[in-house]
Amino acid sequence: GAVVSQHPSWVICKSGTSVKIECRSLDFQATTMFWYRQFPKQSLMLMATSNEGSKATYEQGVEKDKFLINHASLTLSTLTVTSAHPEDSSFYICSAAPAMGTLFSNQPQHFGDGTRLSIL
Amino acid sequence: KQEVTQIPAALSVPEGENLVLNCSFTDSAIYNLQWFRQDPGKGLTSLLLIQSSQREQTSGRLNASLDKSSGRSTLYIAASQPGDSATYLCAVQQGAQKLVFGQGTRLTINP
């Protein structure tokens, strides 16, 4: 089945550091990938939609200068948390759906295993 | 703004019981509804996807129903097993593949 790989799975770093998280679709092409954030015992909240070859679309309240998204190929999107602070500590999850020629595809999204980010 | 609510927030039952998880959503203009499973510290595994034109989907011991007009979905798990213990999330898809998630039901199956 379709697989989405996310790396790293866990990262601990000092406040002020920038952290890059990668999301790869291993056996399908994805023109669109999604980045979610999940705080403990809460649901997933969509942060941004990553579009291959163009700028990401951010949800209301998400700082685009703090959460930099790059989607340079059909199989890779990256999320960089710039100058991370303790309040950015969270579980970040990406997802992707096979490109079907339309944004309104009913194909299920496939999720990565997530990245636990801890900022000291 | 779409809001998705899941009840109960947590559920603990003995092994072998049948159980029902509930999901409700406020805006019936959806493309589909998905049920996911999330194990602690892990990502999401898709269990069932129901298109907006469908009323139910089945996979093994799982059955999901959708009543779009009333904004409700249920996930029925038959003959529960300890390995079914996880958090179950429902999500509705609106435009451009965006998913709106409920807060999940944390399920514990006791041996």
Position A105 pLDDT exceeds 70 = no
Mean pLDDT of chain B: 94
What integer pLDDT is reported at residue A46 of this predicted model? 92
**Helices first, then strands: H and E counts in chain A:** 0, 11
Determine the Cα–Cα distance for residues A104 and A22; give it in Å rounded to an integer: 25
Q: Measured between CA atoms, how close is A108 to chain B, in angstroms?
A: 7
Query: For residue B96, what pLDDT is reported?
Result: 67
Q: Return the pLDDT at A65.
A: 94
A2: pLDDT confidence band, cut at 50, 70 and 90?
Answer: low
Q: What confidence score (pLDDT) does residue A97 get? A: 77
Structure-derived torsion over alpha carbons of residues A43, A47, A51, A56, reported in degrees to the nearest 10: 180
Residue A59's closest CA among A74, A37, A40?
A: A37
Q: Identify the band that residue A53 occupies on the pLDDT scale cut at 50, 70 and 90.
A: confident
Mutation test of the interface with chain A: which of B38, B97, B105, B106, choosing the one with the most A Cβ atoms within 10 A? B97
Q: What's the confidence (pLDDT) of residue B33?
A: 94
Whether the pLDDT of residue A107 is over 80: the answer is: no
The first and second tokens of residue B66, run together, are: 């959708």
Q: What is the mean pLDDT of residues B54-71?
A: 96
Nearest Cβ partner for B41 among A103, A106, A116: A116
More confident residue, A109 or B57: B57
Beta-carbon separation of B99 and A110 below 8 A: no
Instruction: Say yes or no for a CB contact (<8 Å) between B99 and A109.
Output: yes
**What pLDDT does A1 receive?**
57
Mean pLDDT for A91-96 is: 94
Instruction: Report residue B50's pLDDT band, with 50, 70 and 90 as the boundaries.
Output: very high
Q: Do B96 and A104 touch (CB under 8 A)?
A: yes
Alpha-carbon distance of B35 to B70, in angstroms, equals 18
